[in-house]
Amino acid sequence: MLEHLEQLTLDVRAALAEAEAGPAFFAFLTGMTAEADAKQDLTEAITAAAGPMGVEAEELAAQLRELFGALLARAQQAGAVRDDVGAADVQAIVVAALTAGRRRGASERPGRLAEVVFDCLLPRHTHADGNTA
């Protein structure tokens, strides 16, 4: 698990360095979901639900969550992600996407359910009548 946390930390740092905040955020989410789908303990580490993981793994998981929060804030400032969600909300959404994918099982379109679930993070648009979509 330590190796996976290290890689995700490198990935989130790379996403933070990207010029386009929105695409970088969603690309990281997609990659993180694919990685976490392969390892349940990684899902627990990402959401801080794991029991004792060892000092180094816990520190990396905390660092990953902090960097992810910065990536989310950057995407929100760019208008690419709705501004009424926090990092904990997005973590719960990632777990929902993983759970949905696991329940559905193998399919012709891996990652499709995650894509659908992640659509809920897109900003709402206000219509001329004042209603949001």
Q: Print pLDDT tens along the chain (133 aa).
A: 778 888 889 999 999 999 999 999 999 998 888 877 666 656 666 555 555 667 888 888 889 889 999 999 999 999 999 999 999 999 888 888 888 877 777 666 667 778 888 899 999 864 344 455 5
The number of residues in the chain equals: 133
Q: What is the pTM assigned to this prediction?
A: 0.81
Phi-psi region of 35 (alpha: psi -120 to 50; beta: other; left: phi over 0): alpha
CA distances from 46 to 39, 58, 72, 115 (A): 11, 10, 15, 19
